[in-house]
Amino acid sequence: MAASCHVCPFRGSCIVAGVERAGLDKFSGALLRYPVRGKGRSVFNQGESNNAFVFLCNGVVKTVKNLPDGSDVILEVLSPFSVINVPPESDTSRHPFSAVTISALTELASIKKEDLFSLLDSFPRMSDNLCGHVSRRFVTSFNMLSAMQLEVRRRILTVLSFFRGAWKADDGAGYVSIPLTRGELAQLVQTTPETISRRLRQLREEKIVRISPEAKISVAEAALRDYLNESPS
């Protein structure tokens, strides 16, 4: 794990991007950094005390809402840099959802809300970056909700496109790995595991996705770009 924000590979997308050195030093010094090893580990649980900002520095995390009927709904899949929790409003704030690791190694950092608020007052660029991050998250959430009106095949492809930052190159064949199980993908797309399996088989026949013997899913990057009408970078 990066020992300092100065050497973090995701600094350019963090709230300290473009912040003067004094602000970067103070922010880095105020962080509590810690790794979480293993997939499916809790970062925090719904209903627990929420008195600090929690940042995702490396790895992949899903946020999950437990509903009154006992079922769980995946709200987001986050990759670096992300603020994982809802900003705490007071000393009695509670987490409205849970956060769970998806990656084998997840690197996190937290900062007390009063320490961050003090830094935001002192360094306006940091405040602007945080506002921009929150705004982009709202846009993603809105687009996710809009995508739920599509038919399942388009819903799958649209949802996958939101999380490309969490993927890594699978091989030289132009496929990228998706850090989600079929069950997690079904929760995100809001359909049944049986429907997901059937649609994935169809997408595999079209050579849009691959499914390994270990049931790991990969998607053809070119096919996804075509679906989104994007040009190669």
> Domain boundaries in the chain?
5-146, 151-228
pLDDT in tens, 116-140: 999 999 999 999 999 999 998 888 8
- Which residue shows structure tokens 């690791």? 101
**Who's near 165: CB < 8 A, 6+ residues apart?**
79, 80
Q: What is the CATH number of domain 151-228?
A: 1.10.10.10
Average pLDDT, the chain: 88
CATH superfamily of 5-146: Jelly Rolls (2.60.120.10)
| CA nearest to 197, candidates 231, 130, 152, 142 | 152
- Which residue shows structure tokens 């050497």? 7
**AA letter at 12:** G
Distance CA 189, CA 161 (A): 12
Instruction: Output the DSSP codes for 32-90.
Output: EEEEEESTT-EEE-TTSB--EEEEEEES-EEEEEE-TTS-EEEEEEE-SSEE-SPPP-S
Continuous segment of H or E residues that includes residue 217? strand 217-220
Q: What is the pTM of this model?
A: 0.83
pLDDT in tens, 145-178: 788 888 999 888 888 777 655 555 455 677 888 8
Instruction: Output the DSSP codes for 94-131.
Output: B-SSEEEE-SSEEEEEEEEHHHHHHHHHH-HHHHHHHH
Continuous segment of H or E residues that includes residue 31? none
Distance CA 39, CA 27 (A): 28
User: In angstroms, what is the C-alpha Rg of the chain?
Assistant: 19
Task: Give the pairing of strands 98-101 and 61-66.
Answer: antiparallel
- 139 backbone dihedrals φ, ψ, rounded to 5°: -60, -45
pLDDT in tens, 168-225: 545 567 788 888 888 889 988 889 999 999 999 999 999 889 998 888 888 888 887 7
> Is the bond preceding residue 81 a cis peptide, omega within 30 degrees?
yes
* Maximal CA-CA distance, the chain: 56
